[in-house]
Amino acid sequence: MARRAARPAPALAAVGDTPLAVLPGCGPKLAEKLAARGLTTLQGLWLQLPRQYEDRTRLVPIGLLRPGETVQVEGRVQAVQRGFRYRPVLKVAIADDSRGTLVLRFFHFRSAQVNQFRVGTRVRAYGTARPGQAGLEIVHPSYRVLEDDGSEGLGESLDPVYPAVEGIGPVSLRRFIAAALDRLPGDDELELLPAPLRAGMPSLREALLTVHRPPREADLGALLAGTHPAQRRLALEELLAHNISLRRQRIARQAHAAPVLGQPSLALALRDSLPFPLTGAQQRVFDELRADLSRPLPMLRLVQGDVGSGKTVVAAMAALMAVADGRQAALMAPTELLAEQHMASLSAWLEPLGVRLAWLAGKVTGRARAAVLGRIASGEAQVVVGTHALMQEGVEFASLALAIVDEQHRFGVHQRLALRDKGAAGGDSVPHQLVMTATPIPRTLAMSAYADLDVSVIDELPPGRTPVRTVALAQSRRPELVERIRGACAQGRQAYWVCTLIDEPEEGEGPAAAMKIEAQAAQTTFEQLSTQLPQLRIGLVHGRMKPGEKQSVMAQFKAGRIDLLVATTVIEVGVDVPNASLMIIENAERLGLAQLHQLRGRVGRGSEESSCVLLYRAPLSQTARLRLETLRESNDGFLIAERDLELRGPGEVLGTRQTGLAEFRLADLARDADLLPRVQQLADALLEQDPAAADRIVARWIGGAVRFAAA
């Protein structure tokens, strides 16, 4: 009996993976342009979702047009005027039976176009009506000249407008996507969500078809707002993909071992030596950290706490858990000023307990650097405090057991990981990670942006703080303000005057240029205020000063030998001078909510009633007004963060360098927050019951490329 060669069953090639070359008209050149946008397969095009819709399914009578409406109209040419006064212009007046006239205005046109428009020609145009010199007009409409007596049908569905792809015109792009959609398979191949868990929502196939080709009767308002059921269905799956991806990373991380840090006595000794009792929230969060650290799995915990909630002490106690075990802890801060301040606090707290500290920043060079590196590498230094310099090459820890990153939102995920990779000695073991932020992340964001980490919240301020009174004041009232500072300082109060970036740096110039502009603004203000307030002791700090100079000015301010400190936003994070009770922020309208809240957090740290004056330049934009109002009304970091999220969107709230958050195709964490519980539920179910489907969902929405660094 002849043995037949065993042939593997033909792999069921998923239609979605088909290369775009199958599409008519998609030659290698075009395929390359699409690939530059990451579009290489049919599935890529299915998920290339419209940004906007144009309604060409109906005609609006010209007589009923209102300014601001985006519409399709049809009429006959009444008059054509070509002018050259300041620049070439072509005006075509059209009218329909509704006794209205509309001008189509063009600034760029070819003569062939001019010849198209003869009096009496039928034209169909689409665009936004605006008031013109004589009635309404549409500037640069998209238009078509119609056969004189033919009756041309209207569009069957709303026209999708896709994000532009360089080198491909919108019409071709629309055609390719339509052709890809024609090959959309049935739900038996497409659908990956278990039916009971998507109850009440359309299937993937149905959702995709609706979003790309909304039927004429579809709710355009909902589509434009992104709240149509079809869009919600897609957003659900996209959020799910991100959630699964993050949870996978968490699982991968937990495959590593971490040192068991189980000796709290040193940490408790610190607690008992402090001049104040911990707040209940601090104690609770420390207990959470302690539980994590005593397990042989790497901790990754985010501690959130509003400015002034006392995160540093808690971090110091965690560091002592590493020290007690004979290992090292590192604390990294985003700015030198802040790192210096941490060094000062930690030295004061830890040295009396016999703990050896080391300090490392970019400015530490040459021999001093070699000496510090030596102490870190030998393990002599038990707690290392510093800036980004801690992550540089050449920094090797003897036995790093805990990496702490302060103000984590200022760092990218990659940087956080680089510190972790300074690894604990010994095999597969990795350090525990503690990240801290004073920019409270709204719960909804935390749930999805940080699905890979645990979150603790210090939701209580130390007792005796009085809320900061905040007022907004137009720049024109600056003279009054100067008087007010004179009065406040005469009573022994201290004040900050914060100068912000007044001009944007030129295109292509980096943060150094911004820092320079800020520094100049601060210098000028410093000189003005010195003239206006000769009786006050005025200091200046900005990012371009030498660290030693900055430190000495800060020290004088802290010691009360400076009354008024003119500063740039370098003092935004962490600086702690409890006696300072007045803050003026110039050009407050230019800053984001989170940043303003951070700055304001520099005052209100003592028992003295503090105030914050937001100086702005009129007129205020609508958003700027809302921002300033929010600050006036609230001192609650979480509420402010929620508002910030509404005003700015999650990408910006978390910073562009954060994860892949800003890159959602369609989901919007603020708008779709109510889907998140369902996302969690689905992720649980899929990871347990159908990991292959979970993989396919991640691949479909996020792609093979790891967009999140493996954490």
Task: Considering the complex, state which of residue 212 and residue 605 has its C-beta at the smaller distance from ligand ADP.
Answer: 605
Which of 71, 278, 418, 584: binder of ligand ADP (CB under 6 A)?
278
Using CB under 6 A, which of the segments 96-104, 276-284, 294-302, 564-572 binds ligand ADP?
276-284
Structure tokens at 589: 């309208």
- Work out how close the CB of 576 gets to Mg ion at its nearest, in angstroms, rounded to a whole number: 8
Nearest alpha carbon to residue 687 among 15, 115, 198, 192: 192
- Work out how close the CB of 46 gets to ligand ADP at its nearest, in angstroms, rounded to a whole number: 46
Q: How far apart are CA 580 and CA 26, in angstroms?
A: 66
Using CB under 6 A, which of the segments 303-311, 420-428, 587-595, 693-701 binds ligand ADP?
303-311
Quick one: 356 exposed, middle or buried, by C-beta within 10 A (0-12, 13-18, 19+)? Answer: middle
The residue whose Cβ lies closest to ligand ADP is: 310
Task: Considering the complex, state which of residue 44 and residue 574 has its C-beta at the smaller distance from Mg ion.
Answer: 574
What one-letter code names the amino acid at 240? L
Which of 141, 160, 574, 604: binder of Mg ion (CB under 5 A)?
574
Using CB under 5 A, which of the segments 249-257, 315-323, 463-471, 574-582 binds Mg ion?
574-582
305 binds, among ligand ADP, Mg ion, none (CB under 5 to 8 A by kind): ligand ADP
* 377 Cβ contact partners less than 8 Å away, ≥ 6 residues apart: 396, 397, 398
Please answer whether residues 358 and 385 qualify as being in contact, where contact means their C-beta atoms are separated by less than 8 angstroms: yes
Give the 3-state DSSP-derived string for 442-453, with helices as H, strands as E and coil as C: CHHHHHHHCCCC
Task: Considering the complex, state which of residue 187 and residue 609 has its C-beta at the smaller distance from ligand ADP.
Answer: 609
Nearest alpha carbon to residue 435 among 426, 76, 449, 336: 449
Task: Considering the complex, state which of residue 574 and residue 604 has its C-beta at the smaller distance from Mg ion.
Answer: 574
- Work out how close the CB of 677 gets to ligand ADP at its nearest, in angstroms, rounded to a whole number: 30
Task: Considering the complex, state which of residue 28 and residue 463 has its C-beta at the smaller distance from ligand ADP.
Answer: 463
Please answer whether residues 206 and 200 qualify as being in contact, where contact means their C-beta atoms are separated by less than 8 angstroms: no
Using CB under 6 A, which of the segments 88-96, 278-286, 630-638, 651-659 binds ligand ADP?
278-286
**Phi, psi at 252, each rounded to 5°:** -60, -40
What is the enclosing helix (H) or strand (E) of 143? strand 142-146
Question: How far out from the chain centre does Cα 678 lie?
Answer: 23
Using CB under 5 A, which of the segments 237-245, 570-578, 580-588, 675-683 binds Mg ion?
570-578
Which of 157, 309, 382, 494: binder of ligand ADP (CB under 6 A)?
309
Residue keyed to tokens 């991100």? 242
In angstroms, the Cα distances linking 593 to 189, 447, 588, 618, 655 are 46, 21, 9, 18, 13
Residue 490: CB atoms within 10 A of its CB come to: 11
Using CB under 6 A, which of the segments 187-195, 224-232, 308-316, 424-432 binds ligand ADP?
308-316
Q: Does 440 bind ligand ADP (CB under 6 A)?
A: no
Which of 576, 629, 652, 695: binder of ligand ADP (CB under 6 A)?
576
Using CB under 6 A, which of the segments 36-44, 272-280, 496-504, 670-678 binds ligand ADP?
272-280
Is beta strand 611-616 parallel, antiparallel or unpaired with respect to 564-567?
unpaired
Q: Does 595 bind ligand ADP (CB under 6 A)?
A: no
Q: How far apart are CA 684 and CA 199, in angstroms?
A: 17
Which residues in 448-487 contact ligand ADP (CB under 6 A)?
A: 462
Structure tokens at 531: 């003239």
Structure tokens at 492: 């022994």
Counting residues that bind Mg ion (by CB under 5 A) gives 1
Structure tokens at 90: 């072509």
- Work out how close the CB of 126 gets to ligand ADP at its nearest, in angstroms, rounded to a whole number: 54
The site map against Mg ion for 79-108 (x = CB under 5 A) is ------------------------------
Per CB under 6 A, residues contacting ligand ADP are 276, 278-279, 282, 305, 307-313, 438, 462, 574, 576, 605
